[in-house]
Amino acid sequence: MTLDALRCFCAVIDAGSFRAAADRVFRSQPAVSQQVRGLEKELGHTFVDRKTCAPTPAGRLLYARAQPVLNQSGDIVRELADFDESRDHELRIGASDTTALYFLPGHIKAFARRMPETRVVVTSRSSGEIAAEVRHGRLELAIVTLPVEEAELEVRELFAQQMVLVVRKGHSVAGLRRVRLERLANESFVMLQSSTRTGAQLQQFFASRQFIPRTAVDSGSFEVIKRYVAEGVGLAFLPEMVVTQRDRSQLAAIRIEGLPTVRIGAVWRRGAYQSRAAKAFLDLLAPSPAKPRSRKSV
């Protein structure tokens, strides 16, 4: 039984197919299938239902036992890499597209100046997906939309961002600083999909106000939403951070009382070895609180 075989098996369970698993472990699909078959032959059990790619009862047991082993092997690799200061290093982090676009660039530039020998690899997916990648040890650090309530992950809140109403310049409310939600009852909206955490928060807010927005378009992309608003398709609710100075030549951001605040935080695996690069990057994102100095007894 090898780490490679366990890694391929766990990738199949996580990804839900042999083809998607092959992409995750950077192997061909036949190679992944061969690794899983070899594992099953060696241990005398079928671990993957070939019709559904779901784990069998024996597969669930193996998966639960294999995950800590794979995580610990990754910790060993990172710790030994830190031990050898002469070699090049890699820091694998995750972020949503929005965070990668609007929040990370300056921090990555500062990190490159601090640790030029370390290459940063950024994976962009939804907050839930990249939190899972951290939990499984495939990413060392991620920036996600909070809350994250997983016992396996440590969380440090980084900042909060107010949601705003975004309209096209020239709209009847574009020159106002604040608008009541009731005034928008007859408007059309370009809505953020409720499958995203921010979109789900918006839907909860609307329900609490008994407001049913008339949706013209649904999208999971803030960039797509802004373009559609600029074209006059409808109004939108977005985090204020994504309305850049360049956008403001076409768009206006307006406050609405009660709109939710989006909280962004960093997550990493609880108890895992944290590389020097990860610690340095986390410190750039949000310096650790200073520890209180101990007082000498008198």
Using CB atoms within 10 Å of the CB of residue 271, give its burial: 0 to 12 exposed, 13 to 18 middle, 19+ buried.
Answer: exposed
Residue 105 has pLDDT above 70, yes or no: yes
Q: Does residue 290 register a pLDDT over 80?
A: no
Domain count of the fold of the chain: 2
Tokens found for residue 27: 């192997």
The 10 Å Cβ neighbour count of residue 116 is 9
Question: Quick check: is 254 in a domain?
Answer: yes
- Residues with Cβ within 8 Å of residue 77, at least 6 apart in sequence: none
pTM for the model: 0.70
**Is 59 within the bounds of a domain?**
yes
What confidence category does residue 83 fall into, taking pLDDT thresholds of 50, 70 and 90? low
Is 288 domain-assigned? no
Per-residue model confidence as pLDDT tens digits over 190-202: 999 988 888 999 9
pLDDT of 274: 87
What is the average pLDDT across 82-90? Answer: 67
Question: Per-residue pLDDT tens for 262-276?
Answer: 899 999 998 888 888
Mean pLDDT, the chain, as a whole number? 88
Q: Pull the structure tokens for residue 43.
A: 């241990």
How many CA atoms does the CB half-sphere of 147 hold within 13 Å? 4
Question: Where residue 214 sits, what CATH number does that domain have?
Answer: 3.40.190.290
pLDDT tens digits along 133-167: 898 888 999 999 898 888 889 999 999 989 999 99
DSSP annotation of 241: G
> What pLDDT is recorded for position 295?
42
- 106-115 pLDDT, tens per residue? 999 999 999 9
For residue 267, what is the enclosing H or E element?
Answer: strand 261-269
CATH of the domain at 58: 1.10.10.10
Among 21-30, 81-90, 241-250, top mean pLDDT goes to 241-250
SS3 119: strand
Mean pLDDT calculated for residue range 259-264? 90
Residue 294: predicted pLDDT: 42
The answer to whether position 15 is within a domain reads yes
Range of the domain at 220: 161-260
CA distances for 55 relative to 9, 48, 140, angstroms = 9, 5, 26
44: closest CA among 62, 32, 30?
A: 62
